[in-house]
Structure 1
Amino acid sequence: MKLTEQIVAKIKAYKCIIIHRHVRPDPDAYGSQIGLAKIIQASFPEKEVFVVGDDDPGLAFLAITEDIPDDYYQDALVIICDTANKARISDQRYVQAKEVIKIDHHPEVDSYGDISWVNTEASSTSEMIYELVKNESHQGLQLTSEVAKFLYAGIIGDTGRFLFPSTTEKTFRYAAELVSYEFDRPQLYNDLYKTSENIAHLKGYILQNFTVTPNGVSAIKITKDILKRYDLTSEQTSKLVGVLGDIEGIKAWVIFVEEGDLIRVRLRSKGPVINEIAAEFNGGGHPLASGATIYDWKDSEAVINELEKVCQAF
């Protein structure tokens, strides 16, 4: 039995299904999680389906998750979308579920779940959810216009609007099929990519202050004082992670953002593999797009030094 068939069989077997995603969610985390929830609700209206996890205010236009009691997990099936390692699962109550399914496209960090469907060749987990409903429609899975919007949002988010190397012929084909459904694509783009004045001003600060080393490494440090100056939170700066991507001479870059007692490390690359560096610093992700966490500014130099090594070797 194929993995997609096994997943649908488990969905059919449970009355209560709870869907999780990763902490600090991005459009693909939302798109795959909410898209799957709405597929199940449309296909099997008699089932109770819940979505949980910490919300990102910048993506609240997509959906708001639910606060559910612990006892809901007792006889529930949990499906975890877009999350490679256990520590990054938002809402650790998933361990209380009767069974767990993992659906993800990241390189595997932790092996977990009674069923694990990991496809690193997929552009996004939202692409995988579309493939699930496409391949198993004969089992009653239904795709609505609302579902199409969520899955399309996840795909364009994780492919950088189809610019990243993870975009394949299949990605374009699936995206074309999704846009055949009726949803407001211009409004979706506007909601995903609109920029506040504060963010625009910080973008100007980054572009005025970046440097590039001979090996093609660029690093920007955004301290609490800089966040205060521009009246921004650490979460809001996530929209700027790609701002250095078009600059000639940069092979890989890192943006450090101070947040409480820790420092977020946002790594991006045009070729050198960086997810192994992220794994050394409490993180992980894709070969060209990863995140990590450090707890002292002196550790930022260690991250930069590792970036220098992989860029020099590239």
Structure 2
Amino acid sequence: MRLDWSAFLKVLDESKRVVLTSHVRPDCDALGSELGMAGILEAVGKDVRIVNAQETPASLQWIDPRRKLESLAQGITPADLDDRDLLIVLDTSAWAQLGAMGEVLKRQRERVVVVDHHVSEDDLSDRWFKDPTAEATARIVYEIGLRLRVPLTESIATPLYAGLSTDTGGFRFPSASGETFRVAARLVDAGASPPFIYRELFEQDTLARLHLVGRTLAGARTFNDGNCIVSTVRQSDIKEVGASPADTEDLINLTLAVKGTQVAAIMIEQPDKRVKLSFRSRGAADCSALAGHFGGGGHKAAAGAITTGAFDEIEKQVTEAVDAAWHALHPA
């Protein structure tokens, strides 16, 4: 991995009280990386807290049986974290994705370290430990454990496997290599249970979520001979089927599953009227560049952004951006 391990291990060695955080609307790679890192750091004697801006989504609470995950939404204040001598940001490099935790970091920016695998970045810190070639931040955390010589336990392996498996699309994305499977095997040997994790991730849908899936797919539009697909989710869609905001997670991947699709985009209206954008690509289209048009970023195959404005206008802009990206690669 392309990291300055000696510098990173020196930072860890000089710290005693650590707080870990990640992005809003946390996914398995965010939460799994936090929990895996907490287990590793606690094994070498660190006092560790995990504090996010938002509470853990109900659908992902299974990943935290020891209830290590805390949030500012539960009443923790920035002053409560002033005793921390190291703040590690995992799985994001963007201020906009930190929510209220961004203010905590700004108070103590000199203590901030970023561990991430996304390409784009803001000025969160002067100390970056990033590897855009890593298939998941959980993979980087796994490597940290190796270098600290921490034995894998079930409580470390399970969240790391969850992060690794979800960020590789169940090991089906091009980012999954032979070594990805070897790492996964070691995590399974240490106690991670693929059947349990799969069941918790993919076999817990409510009927309301399935109704939302149906509505989203029914309204999806394809163009460029079926190579591009765009879909939308309005707050009215969520309310009318009785779904929750968390039920919108992973809808983008279902649209990418439509036969022939090479580029997918989805626009999801948020309760505060902002719009969450997600992009996915099977081929040469650069999702990070697409998201960059709207102030976001990510990877070539998967990226996202949060933007503001009239929903219909944003839908028009996203459609035009996807169309332009496709034609740039496939000129008439």
The TM-score, its normalising length taken from structure 2, stands at 0.87
Map 1:1-314 onto structure 2 (within 5 A). 3-44=4-45, 47-53=46-52, 54=54, 55-63=56-64, 64=67, 65-67=69-71, 68-69=76-77, 70-90=79-99, 91-92=101-102, 93-97=104-108, 98-137=110-149, 141-194=150-203, 195-214=205-224, 216-260=227-271, 261-271=273-283, 272-295=285-308, 296-297=310-311, 298-314=313-329
Contact 2:120 2:297 (8 Å CA) reproduced: no
Within 2, Cα distance between the matches of 1:36 and 1:75? Answer: 16
Task: Report how far residue 282 of structure 1 moved.
Answer: 2.6
Task: Report how far residue 193 of structure 1 moved.
Answer: 1.4
Segments of 5+ residues of structure 2 without an aligned counterpart are none
Task: Report how far residue 185 of structure 1 moved.
Answer: 2.7
Label 1:183 to 1:217 Cα distance change in 2 as closer, same or farther (>3 A): closer
Aligned with 1:50: secondary structure? strand
Within 1, Cα distance between the matches of 2:81 and 2:234? Answer: 41
AA at the equivalent of 2:145: V
- CA offsets, 1:26-49, max 9 Å, x none? 1100111111011111221xx321
Task: Report how far residue 248 of structure 1 moved.
Answer: 2.0
The farther-off stretch of 5-14 and 239-248 is: 5-14
- Runs of 4+ with deviation above 3 angstroms: none
Contact 1:22 1:83 (8 Å CA) reproduced: yes
Aligned with 2:267: secondary structure? strand
Contact 2:17 2:83 (8 Å CA) reproduced: no
CA-atom RMSD in angstroms: 1.9
Within 1, Cα distance between the matches of 2:96 and 2:238? Answer: 27
Contact 1:212 1:218 (8 Å CA) reproduced: yes
Aligned with 2:182: secondary structure? helix
Q: Give percent identity, aligned residues only.
A: 27
Aligned with 1:60: secondary structure? helix
Aligned residues: 308
